[in-house]
Amino acid sequence: MIGFGTAICGGSAIAAASPILEAKEEEVALSISTIFFFNIVALLLFPFLGHLFQMPDLVFGTWAGTAINDTSSVVAAGYSFSQKAGDMATIVKLSRALMIVPACLLFVFYRFQKEKGVKTQLRITKIVPWFILWFSLASLLSSLGIFPKEMIPYAKLFSQWLMAMALFAIGTKVSFEQFYRTGLAPLLTGFLAWLAVSLVSFFLIW
């Protein structure tokens, strides 16, 4: 779960994949908390490193959009560097977010293959991520210009509010006692995944 969130879209990707993988609430909460912890680290560290290495705006924006997990952290880090960096970081991050759809579909295929030989009844409604269909439909309708332009900003604000509420609800499942019981494994996994993505993308881009 932590690796999936690091690779694609942070907490949103974890929340999207967790029903398909039948992850426990505690696992989801710990994974999202770990992801957000390193988002905060990246938000503070990346602009400093960008100025330290005198990175051009577009280069820094590409790096931030590639290596930082959560969209809000990407936007904050990018625009704190410059307007151009923020624009580029947002574009790159949204491109990563689109990978949620094919990645979740791959998980569905994996579940089908895994449970094909099991004699229990496999409910299609249980493992198919129906939200992806609605997401794809909304994207298609928006691209075709069916929605009024005046409606788009309000729809985005409403979706952000819903996501914030969902993540808040997940966060209520987290306690320091859970981190104590699980040990350093989640943080270590999150750190290694975050460090790998940050370094590889840095050397490829810069």
pLDDT in tens, 98-152: 888 788 778 777 777 776 655 444 555 555 556 667 767 777 777 777 878 788 7
| 8 Å CB contact between 17 and 164 | no
Tell me the torsion sign for CA atoms 10, 15, 21, 23. positive
The predicted structure's pLDDT at residue 191: 92
The predicted structure's pLDDT at residue 111: 73
The predicted structure's pLDDT at residue 46: 96
Mean pLDDT to the nearest integer, 66-79: 89
- Cα-Cα end-to-end distance for the chain: 29
Q: Which residue has the tokens 């993505």?
A: 197
Residue 27 CB-half CA count within 13 A: 13
Percent of the chain with pLDDT strictly greater than 90: 27
Mean pLDDT to the nearest integer, 3-28: 80
Question: Could you tell me the pLDDT band of residue 14, with boundaries at 50, 70 and 90?
Answer: confident
The predicted structure's pLDDT at residue 120: 47
The predicted structure's pLDDT at residue 125: 55
| Weakest mean pLDDT among 2-11, 40-49, 128-137, 167-176 | 167-176
The predicted structure's pLDDT at residue 169: 66
The predicted structure's pLDDT at residue 196: 94
Written as six digits, the tokens of 8 are 């694609």
Average confidence score pLDDT of the chain: 80
Question: Could you tell me the pLDDT band of residue 173, with boundaries at 50, 70 and 90?
Answer: low
Classified as helix, coil or strand, 101 is helix
Tell me the torsion sign for CA atoms 39, 43, 45, 47. positive
Residue 73 has pLDDT above 70, yes or no: yes
* Domain containing residue 79: 1-205
Full-model pTM: 0.74
Percent of the chain with pLDDT strictly greater than 70: 80
Question: Could you tell me the pLDDT band of residue 20, with boundaries at 50, 70 and 90?
Answer: confident
| 8 Å CB contact between 38 and 8 | no
pLDDT tens across 34-59, in order? 888 898 899 899 999 999 999 999 99
The predicted structure's pLDDT at residue 203: 93
